[in-house]
Structures are given as structure tokens and as C-alpha cells.
Amino acid sequence: MSYLLCVFCASDEPVALRDIAEFINDGVFFPTAPAYLPEPVGALGELAIRYQSDRKAVRVTRLLGEAEEDVRGEAIGALHRARASDLAKEDIRRGIEAARQVIAFEIDRSDMTESAWAMLDCLENELITSRGGILYAEGDGFFGDGLERIASLRL
């Protein structure tokens, strides 16, 4: 089952495919380097990270146009249901609306290994800290630096 996590980045500094691959490979998350499709050259459009042949790939995409606006709308809609102070919600809303780029991670939660989760968490946190981002996790909440929960969507 597909699950979406999005980082709303304050910075418009492009995310290079090579930087993602190097970050993952340097992190020694997996016994062998994952396969990347397409080859990690140029700026991020879409990248599939196949870390194990019998597992679904982690997909990383820079959202543009309608897809970006749809995710912004979904995140802001979810924010109305979030458990957080009004001030925190307003800060998150401003961050979402002002984001210069949105990076989405599509995963299958039931198919992820512990190593893949560790890689994903580290990569998300790297984008949050290096690009001034806020992470929105469907049905779970909003997260800041260090993946600290800043608003919960859980009941």
C-alpha cells in the first residue's frame, strides 16, 4: 500500500540526484549500494531507490504544478485536524504555503526493512535541515528538525 511523506522546503536550492545517492551510500544503510533509476545525474525530478531486489523501491520526486498544489492543499487540510497549538499550526501553515519546493517520498510501509526506514528517516531529516523544511506524513503528523513531531494527526 502506497504511503506519501512530503518535505516542504523553504529553500529552492535544487536537490541533486548524485547528492541523494552519495548520502545513502555514505550512510552504509545497506550491505550493497542500492540501484538508482534513473542514473543519479542532474537535479531531482524522480528517483527510484531499489535497495533490495525483492522489495518495492522507495520513490523520491520533486513535485511540480498540480501535484505540488494538491499536496499543499492536502497538508493544509490535515493541519486543521492536527493536535497542536494555534500558534504552531499557523507556523506550519506559513511554512507549507511559503515552500519553494516540495519533495515527496512514496513508500510501501508494509514492505520496508528496518534499514530502509533508517535510510528514509535520515534522508528526510537531511532535507529538513539543509533546505529549511517541514515534513508532512499522511495520517501521522508534521515534523521538524530531528524528525521531532510538531503537530500530531493521530487520535
* DSSP assignments along 107-118, one per residue: EEGGG--HHHHH
pTM of the predicted protein model: 0.95
Q: For residue 91, give the 3-state DSSP assignment.
A: helix
Average pLDDT over residues 89-109: 97
The chain-wide mean pLDDT, for the chain, equals: 95
> Is the per-residue pLDDT at 107 higher than 80?
yes
Place of cell 541523494: 20
Question: Model confidence at 23, in pLDDT bands (50, 70, 90)?
Answer: very high
Confidence of residue 90 (pLDDT cuts 50, 70, 90): very high
Please compute the mean of the pLDDT values over residues 142-155 and round it to a whole number.
94
Q: Which residue has the cell 550491505?
A: 31
Instruction: Report, as an integer, the average pLDDT of 119-134.
Output: 97
Q: Among candidates 3, 18, 7, which has minimal Cα distance to 134?
A: 7
What's the whole-number mean pLDDT along residues 73-85? 96
CB-CB contact of 12 with 99 (8 Å): no
Contacts of 138 (CB under 8 A, 6+ apart): 3, 4, 5, 74, 78
138 is in which domain, residue-wise? 2-152
Asked if pLDDT for residue 116 goes beyond 90, the answer is yes
Give 83's DSSP letter: B
Task: Please state which of the ranges 38-47, 91-100, 104-113 shows the lowest mean pLDDT.
Answer: 38-47
C-alpha distances in Å from residue 45, one per residue of 63, 67, 106, 151:
8, 13, 14, 29
Would the pLDDT of 62 be above 80? yes
- Residue 60, pLDDT score: 97
* Domain count along the chain: 1
- The secondary structure of residue 79, as a DSSP letter, is H
Q: What is the pLDDT of residue 1?
A: 76
pLDDT given at position 83 = 95
Overall size of the chain counted in residues: 155
pLDDT over 90 percentage in the chain: 93
Tell me what percent of the chain is helix, strand and coil, each rounded to the nearest 5: 40, 30, 30
